[in-house]
Amino acid sequence: MVVLNRIYTRTGDDGTTSLGSGARRKKYDLRVDAYGTLDEVNAILGLVRLHTGAMPELDAALRRIQNDLFDVEADLCLSEKGPGGARLTVTDGQVEWLERQIDALNDSLAPLTSFILPGGSAASAYMHLARTVCRRAERIMVALRDQPDEEVSDASLKYVNRLSDYLFVAGRYANDKGTSDVLWAPGQNR
In a domain, 12, yes or no: no
| pLDDT (mean) for 120-143 | 98
The number of distinct structural domains making up the chain is: 1
| pLDDT (mean) for 85-112 | 92
pLDDT at 81: 59
Q: Say if strands 16-18 and 182-183 run parallel, antiparallel, or are unpaired.
A: unpaired
Average pLDDT value for the chain:
90
In a domain, 185, yes or no: no
User: DSSP letter at 110?
Assistant: P
In a domain, 135, yes or no: yes
Domain limits for position 31: 22-178
In a domain, 6, yes or no: no
CATH of the domain at 83: 1.20.1200.10
Q: Which residues contact residue 178 at a Cβ distance below 8 angstroms, ignoring those fewer than 6 apart?
A: 109, 110, 111, 112, 172
Query: Does the pLDDT at position 54 exceed 70?
Result: yes
In a domain, 15, yes or no: no
pLDDT at 22: 75
In a domain, 38, yes or no: yes
In a domain, 153, yes or no: yes
| % the chain with pLDDT above 70 | 90
